[in-house]
Amino acid sequence: MKSFIYLLPLYLLPFGDLLNIPKSFGWVSLCAFIGIINVINIYPKKITYIVFIQFLILFYSIFFNKEFIDNYPLLRGIFSILWYSMPVIALSKASLIVKKRSFVKFLNFNFYVAFALSLLSIFLSIILPKYIENYRPELTFGEPSWLGLYFYCTLGLYIPFFKTQISENIRFFKIGLFSIFMGGYSTDSAHIVSFIIGTSLFLFINNNIFKKIKILLFRFKLKKSLAINILLLIFLILIFYFLFSINENLLARLESLFSLLEISDLNLTPQKNNNMSVLSWLNSGDKALYVLKNSPIFGFGPGSTGYFQYFSIFYKDLIALFDGVESNWGDGYSLLFRGTIEYGSVFLIIIILNFRKYFINLQSSQLENKSIFLMSFILFIGALLKQTALPQSIVFLAFYLPLIKINEY
């Protein structure tokens, strides 16, 4: 029974944002709500300690940053504290023990649900653009980008099983994985970048490519396995380059990012080809750098994003192009930016420690645990790049999944 309870947040993931706790509790997915109860039950002392430390940071930020913050959102800050505990808890030893047979049942269920959603997503993306301009499927999620991240992290869950008994026991396994990838691609989600980064690092670590390159450099001996891996990597790079080049939405974002990064003049002039997502992302990144300069250790405190006055070099373009509304003003657009704004260098240190944990566990874990870590790693990258709300299912699971351990019995 415990195995099912610990896996329940993952069972709920495909239903995305259809299952949310009432707004009086804030914007919390049922997936995250059940998950945080599991975490509090297993780590009560750690949660209490982490929450207490955050309250000290909150009071410090309010007291020392008065000149930067116009209307400090105290209630928002208090509500955020519990959820910000998750990145710290994720560093703990895995204590949510799940039986292997329960995990295999979940893999079968999740595969067919993801397969069905991907086929529906592909179908809608082919049919509806004829009638709805710029249509992108979102299905059970609040935005197409979130649906894309769901598909890509699901791929991460199954990639380690590609040549194992589990893949043979699941019907349509290879066709299903291809369909799930195409489902993610149909959303035009920038999280294809999260998938590329996550899976590339996994393949490098899992195949000991770093070690093999070291041997190559010092012994000048090119082994057959390393040569195959290098050719495979080049092949994958060419495929993703092709996918970006034929997708107008993704290509526009990439071109917009490069064009904006080249701007050195602080007085920007509106450009019609600028992308709102890219502008919002860069605007938030500039704010994060501003906070690091003014309060490098603890940031401006939990919940402070969007509640202090600072006009980045991208702000004028953002307002001019999008009818005077600063998009994503209250969430920082990426967890990396928002976390840096609200917790400064402390948050960055925690993120670095989480990266370290992924590298260690992707090397040393058993196969089932590697699949959990790869799924989590893609979500982790996705959250840092382009998601913010920790109570959101696809962000919460990035820090919940490393706490799960699959046992044989």
Residue 261 has pLDDT above 70, yes or no: no
Lowest mean pLDDT among 57-66, 109-118, 157-166, 271-280: 271-280
Lowest mean pLDDT among 156-165, 177-186, 189-198, 307-316: 307-316
pLDDT at residue number 269: 47
pLDDT at residue number 18: 74
DSSP string across 350-407: HHHHHHHHHHHHHHHS-HHHHHHHHHHHHHHHHHHHH---TTSHHHHHHHHGGGEEEE
Q: Mean pLDDT over residues 60-77, rounded?
A: 75
pLDDT at residue number 265: 43
- Give the start-to-end residue ranges of the domains of the chain: 2-189+360-407
Q: Mean pLDDT over residues 250-254, rounded?
A: 62
pLDDT at residue number 246: 62
Tokens of 128: 């509806």
pLDDT in tens, 281-301: 777 888 888 888 888 888 888
Q: Per-residue confidence at 263, pLDDT binned at 50, 70, 90?
A: very low
Q: Mean pLDDT over residues 370-395, rounded?
A: 90
pLDDT at residue number 289: 87
Residue 85 has pLDDT above 90, yes or no: yes
Q: Per-residue confidence at 267, pLDDT binned at 50, 70, 90?
A: very low
pLDDT in tens, 207-218: 655 555 444 444
CA–CA distance, 207 with 363 (Å, rounded to integer)? 9
Helix axes 224-246, 192-206, angle to 10 degrees: 180
Residue 223 has pLDDT above 80, yes or no: no
Q: Mean pLDDT over residues 181-205, rounded?
A: 87
pLDDT at residue number 287: 85
> Which pTM value belongs to this model?
0.84
CA–CA distance, 182 with 179 (Å, rounded to integer)? 5
pLDDT in tens, 318-356: 666 666 556 566 677 789 989 999 999 999 999 999 999
Residue found by looking up tokens 């019609």 in the block: 272
Cα distances (angstroms) measured from residue 329 to each of 125, 198, 306: 30, 28, 5
Question: What is the average pLDDT score of the chain?
Answer: 81
Q: What Rg do the C-alpha atoms of the chain give, in angstroms?
A: 22
pLDDT at residue number 213: 47
